[in-house]
Amino acid sequence: MYFAVGWPKLLQVVHRDSRLVHISANCDRMLFVVLTQSTIGIWFCKPAVEIVSYRRSSCSIGDLGTNEMAQWKPDSSKIAVTTSKGYIIFYQIEFDKNNAKQTIFRKREDRPLEQRDDLDCHYVDCVPALTITMLSYLQVPGSVTGLVCLREELLVSTGRGILQRIRWSDGLVNSDLTIELASVPFSADLHHSRSSQLSNPDICIKALKYSPLLGGFTAVLSNGRAAFITARSLKFEPNEVVGVWSQEVTGATTTAVNHKYALMAFGCTSGEGVVCHLDELTGALVLSHRLVISSKDYPDAGQVCGAVSQMKWTPDGTALAMSWERGGFSVWSVFGSLLLLSIGIDTGQSISDSNSGHPKLKIKSMEWGSEGYYLWMVCERLHCTPPDGATNSSERSGSNSSVGDPSSSSPPQSQQVPGVDLIQLQFIKSSLAVNRCMTNHIHLLLQGEDRLYLNPEESSVQVFGSSPSLPQQAPSISPTAFVGNKQWHVMHIPHTYLMHNWPIRYAAMSMSGHNVAVAGKTGLAHYSLSSRKWKLFGNETQERDMVVTSGGLTWWRDFICVACYNLLDQRDEIRFYPRDCKLDNTFAHVTRIPSQVLLMNTYVDLLIVLCADCHIVLYSVQQKRIQHTPTIALNKIQEFALNKIQEFAIENFVPHPANVVAVMLTSLRTDAGSAKVASESKEAESILINVAGRLLLFQTDRSASAGKAANDREKWLTFNPPVIVASSVESMWLNAHSSHLKPHLTEALWLGCGAAGMKVWLPLQPKDEGIKSKGFLSKRIMLPFTIDIYPLAMLFEAGIILGANSEAVSYPSHGDTPDDCWPYLQLERTSQVYLHHILRQLLRRNLGVHALEVARSCTDLPYFPHVLELLIHEVLEEEATSKEPIPDALLPRVVAFVEEFPEYLQTIAHCARKSDVAVWQYFFTVVGNPVDLFQECLMSKRLYTAASYLIILQNLEKSCLARQHASLLLDAALEQFAWDLARDLIRFLSAIDPADDEESSTAMRRVRQNSTSKYPVHYPSPPVTPEDSDPYMYPPVVRGRSISKDDPGKDSSKAKEKSKTFARGDSFAGSKSRHTSGGLDSPDKMNVDAILNRHACRLLSSYRLFDLACFAANLEDYQLVSWLRKERLRSAKIDDFVSALKKLHEDFHWPLPILSLGALRHISSVASLESHSSLMDQGSQRSKLEGLEASSASSSVDKLTSNSANVSDTDAVGVRPEDGSLPPAEYSDAGSLLEEVDSIDSSSWSDAVYLSELDQLSVDLVNRGPAESDLRLRYLFQILVEAGCLEWSALVTLILRDSVLFLRVLTMASQTDAPPEAILRLNNGLAAFEAWTNTDCPGYRPFQIGLQPHIAILKDIKPKSCTSTQRVNLPKCSNNFALDESFSKFGRSGENEVGSQLKCERNMADTADVNHSGQEKSDQGCVVS
């Protein structure tokens, strides 16, 4: 509930000639008395300044002794100070009559001074001017050991075992009410056990605290025992006083009483705190919980810190501060959850001073400030003494400085002396600590003295649409809306409001999360997160005449519901202020309440109120809209009604109304109705009341209301006697709406129980067939679980708990400064998943069916696999590390439960990898053989999960077996295009050392000894050794990129330039070479190469050229050209030319060509021309075809240039401009070839030229493929030509329909080293292509007809008999393409975008003499950036 923030403030005391010894606050905690050994100082809370200081004379100190303790009178008009010599000195506190304004600073006061008989700081708007006067003193027999205030009397415990009562009025002892401790009977309880008096008369009371709600005192005796002293009447007559021992407390040192929760805390010499409560039935002190620093938080804290010295509850009773004698302090929640521990953060890395070996901070006295926002501490530590003249000598003003403030200058050089300082530590608290309204349950809202902290996402939360006739809907919160962001949205309260109403006392956020309301000392203000504007009272008088009481404030739709006290009319009221109107009483709906409102809450259209007379009142809230008329103000267009429904008393179930912590209406029930009816019902079924930590459930009596009419039932509800749901409840959360998708989580009751963790009252939803059965009883079950954070808010449907924590931030200090003791504390938001705790508790109780229902409703959560991992991991760690045998192990049930979900294999693998290897034996005994799990992952294609199992198998098996499994996984990864995984597996296989086999085997024998595993010791592994008939396993692969020396057409300089051109990091022609030792490949690398080559063969054999390119581009150092050169007669051969062409069209998303109208008219004439040409003799045919080749190539370039007006002469072959705005042009030569053979009349051509060009342009656009595919195909063509793959090279030219590239294929085929079988297969493939174009794809016919002369030349080529002089002198074209991450970023589907910008440049470089024409042709090149 409470979290420290910032740097503590070091307050400078005026008179530092004596040590600080004590600090005490008055009732409203606005004034503090600070005692030194010789002075009494009165401090104001805000600003923290010293108002007045009284210095005792040396004679007074010598006669009466030094100051020790102080106690305020309830009206703050007097102070009683005890001395070391057993005297009590009384001082009078009054306003300074000599000060005309009676304040130190500016003040606005409407009421005259004579109307105030005492010092009432509620009416003081700034620091008052006070005087302190000594009245009298009284000597007490023996030393004063304890001092408490009883209204108009002062109770003093002495060292002689006497309790004396001294009147505040005259300072005299009321001897008639003096109690001797030796005469008080003590017993174990108040009703049954026998009482006895103290055997030793010298025993006295060391510490004493009074609680009016408990009706007695908590006392710590000098013998170390703790007791509760009470009486039958409030007068505490000596003969009526009895005592009750605390059986759980030994070695008690101090005590503190919590009035709100009726708890008694005792500090012990062991450093622990023991908290007890009084049992109502037996009257005995029962242990509630212990305050123990766990070894996880700080080891051996009791020995380091010593005995407990101080204990102080916060003003609201929700937190306890505890300090130790040797130093350090801690803050705990009301039921024992540790919120802050100073010894872990005092000095950063070390908790101890290097000289003394103890913590540097030692608290002698402490007190909580107003509303618990500050903790004032008198601390003894080593500090830097301020330089001379730095101390302010004025008695009416003080100064404060921030310890460790980075903005301040470096501390002055001074000598360190031990001393005592007055330090002020700031705190932030949850709004649920004081205002437990329903709307704060789903929002993480923290409040400080002048600011609010909330999640930054809450300003953007969307809400369901609501209407005035329907109940307010809860916000629709994304499951991960508040997860991951640890920052805060800090809203500062306007200074205009805080100037008169400091501090903030209550805060409430609307259900939608868009509006926040706050209330200070008087009045209220609200803020809109959408408009980012505050609304304050325009009339300051109305603001100052209204005080928000302990009932707080809440939201109902767009109205602020306020429980307040009207100072002007002296009455209690409930007011509703509309959000959209001005903040003014004119627009407020006011309802008078007979007594003070202690608690208030809303549910749908009902308002529940708990009054000080212990009565609960139910109201119905209605809002009616009326038609707007000109006579009605714009802000007053709504009619509001608050009608009283019912009132009933609960004094028989509540010891005191102040002990009621929270009250709310709910639809929860324990006995009747089906789950469907309960979830759809919006009526209030029960009342939940938290009475001092015990949660009571008042359910409506349906039998009594069954006979009533519907309208009667709305007016009156009958409740059964209460049922205790849980105990030690600090906070409770209920969802405002229920969801049919997640009924278990949205209809559950969530309880925060301090040190006991959390509890959930979970509904067990019936099956569908069970709903139809009559008389079904809806059951609930209470499930406890522990968490690592302090819960502040619940995300019901997301399965997440939100909390906060104070994190220390260390800054570098210069030398030995106060920074070494105090780091900067910042508020950090925390969160935790709780779903696995619920599933575990259900499985432990054999409620697996309900656990499945809960889990299946949460499978949409993004972190659901993590929930399953946490479930298995926690059970595994608990059972595997247990020193004793577990009779009923939970892990088998948990594993069987997780097996119901598809994340099972992934969960097992991740859990095993995050666990210690020592627990694997027990774990895999339950889950099964990891080899079987690995193979199951391979069968289900969960490759990354299989990779996790591979790491496990590496630790369990020999290296050779791990290599076999990795090889299997690598094959599967290559087939599924998991390139990242494939690269990791290649590195994994290359890193395996065969020498590890023996070491791994020895380690596994050591792990498996005494094992009773269900699977055999030697896991069966599938054979991965290749068959002997496979010619591609373990080939002698050369890992360097080089050009074949057998190629006579390439010199060394050109080869180097070409290697540099193809070199790139991520492409399939990468130049990165692996580091090998001695120039030879190891067997592991040869095995990897064999796997890669085998996969490449499989791809190319199935005509998957695109997949082969992606494969080579995404794997490091794979030499595609070298491999293709070796495989050009094996896997690179094409048996079905047409099928391979179709596969290229499909993979590269290249459309099949269609014919234009002009091409259809001239196909017949072209065919007849081919028939006539075939009758020519061989010599003339060869000469004519050579001329046709040159003319067709020239015509193709000329036509492409004429059709591309935006392309320059140097880019005439479809070049992409520099800006990449135009796609590559089409490379069809069908039009040019038809122009050579078609004879068209000039007049008809001039008439149809426009239509013909338009028809040809439209066909070119349709036949054109994607630009990326064009570049890829051209680059692949260069690779295939370099590797000597005739068939694939020709196939690429066909899909591109580029005759210039086909000429390069002819040139390559005419070389002496061209394989004859490749030329034969190419001729057969072109023949099949011609037959296919004639029957199935006529769009290729123009291009095929144009290639007939080239094909005829190819048929005449005889590689074995050809010489260099007999080869046809065709144009030489050299294409150099460098493609950056083109295939590596392009998926198998071809739908991914290419990340790099592509440019294509074609340059005519080489010249060729074709028929002595002297024409120049250019090579084609493509450069990609």
Span 1335-1344, average pLDDT: 85
At residue 817, does pLDDT exceed 90? no
User: 1014-1066, pLDDT tens digit by residue?
Assistant: 333 333 333 333 333 333 232 333 333 333 333 433 333 433 333 333 333 33
Q: Is the dihedral of CA 461, 462, 464, 470 positive or negative?
A: positive
Worst-scoring range by mean pLDDT, 659-668, 1053-1062, 1086-1095, 1180-1189?
1053-1062
What CA–CA distance (Å, rounded) separates 1045 from 1230? 39
Which position has the higher pLDDT, 287 or 418? 287
Mean pLDDT, residues 813-817 taken together: 51
Query: Using DSSP, how many helices (H) and how many strands (E) does the chain show?
Result: 35, 60
1313: pLDDT strictly greater than 50? yes
Q: Which of 596, 750, 612, 601 is nearest to 663 (CA)?
A: 601
User: Is the predicted pLDDT of residue 116 greater than 70, yes or no?
Assistant: no
- Is the pTM higher than 0.75? The answer reads yes
Lowest-confidence pick of 239-253, 547-561, 1259-1273? 1259-1273
The pLDDT, as a whole number, for residue 1359 is 53
pLDDT digits (tens, 9 = 90+) for 30-86: 999 999 999 999 999 989 999 999 999 999 999 999 999 999 999 999 999 999 999
Respond yes or no on whether the N-terminal peptide bond of residue 862 is cis (omega within 30° of 0). no
**Would you state the pLDDT for residue 1160?**
61
How much is the CA Rg of the chain, to the nearest whole Å?
45
Q: How far is CA 1322 from CA 1105, 1273, 1285, 1306, in A?
A: 17, 19, 10, 11
- For residue 997, the model assigns a pLDDT of 54
Interval 1065-1094: pLDDT, tens: 333 333 333 333 333 345 556 678 888 999
pLDDT at 1192: 39
pLDDT of residue 1363 exceeding 60, the answer is no
The pLDDT of residue 637 is 45
Confidence at residue 1241, expressed as pLDDT on a 0 to 100 scale: 46
In single-letter form, the type of residue at position 405 comes to: D
Give the range among 43-47, 208-212, 412-416, 1007-1011 with minimum mean pLDDT. Answer: 412-416
Mean pLDDT over each residue of the chain, to the nearest integer: 76
Residue 1164: pLDDT above 70? no
- What's 472's DSSP letter? P
Q: Which residue has the tokens 């889950």?
A: 927
Whole-number percent of the chain with pLDDT over 70: 69
The rounded distance, in Å, linking the Cα atoms of 319 and 955 is 50
Cα separation, 972 vs 982, whole angstroms: 9
What type of residue sits at position 380? E
Is residue 72 within 8 Å of 81, Cβ to Cβ?
no
The SS3 call for residue 38 is coil
**pLDDT interval class at 398 (50, 70, 90):** very low
Helix axes 864-880, 835-844, angle to 10 degrees: 50
For residues 320 and 258, the answer to whether their CB atoms sit within 8 Å is yes
**Is the confidence at residue 388, as pLDDT, over 60?**
no
**Alpha helical stretches, state H, 447-549:** 495-501, 540-544
Taking residues 201-213, report their average pLDDT: 93
Tokens of 239: 């003969």
Predicted confidence band of residue 1345 (pLDDT cuts 50, 70, 90): confident
Exposed/middle/buried for residue 1343 (C-beta within 10 Å: 0-12, 13-18, 19+): buried
pLDDT: is 783 or 670 the higher one? 783
Cis-peptide into 784, omega within 30 deg: no
Asked whether the beta carbons of 266 and 254 are under 8 A apart, the reply is yes
Q: Distance between CA 527 and CA 514 in Å, rounded?
A: 9
Q: Which residues of 934-952 are buried (b: 16+ CB within 10 A; e: fewer)?
A: bbbbbeeebbebbbbbbeb
**Model confidence over 1000-1014: pLDDT tens digits?**
444 444 444 433 333
- Nearest CA to 948 out of 918, 993, 903 is that of 903
Q: What are phi and psi of 99, to 5 degrees?
A: -90, 120
Confidence (pLDDT) at 897: 97
Q: Are 827 and 782 in contact (CB under 8 A)?
A: no
Residue written as token pair 């009923």: 888
Q: Who has greater pLDDT, 249 or 464?
A: 249
Range with the largest mean pLDDT of 749-753, 825-829, 975-979: 749-753
Confidence band of 638 (pLDDT split at 50, 70, 90):
low
623 closest CA partner among 430, 472, 480, 745:
472
pLDDT band at 1317 (very low <50, low <70, confident <90, very high): confident
**Confidence at residue 823, expressed as pLDDT on a 0 to 100 scale:** 83
Query: Do the strands 525-528 and 515-519 form a parallel or antiparallel pair, or are they unpaired?
Result: antiparallel
Q: Are 280 and 655 within 8 A, CB to CB? A: yes
Cα gap 599→619, rounded to integer Å: 14
If pLDDT is split at 50, 70 and 90, which confidence band does 1166 have? low
Contact yes or no for 985/970 (Cβ under 8 A): yes
Higher pLDDT, 234 or 412: 234
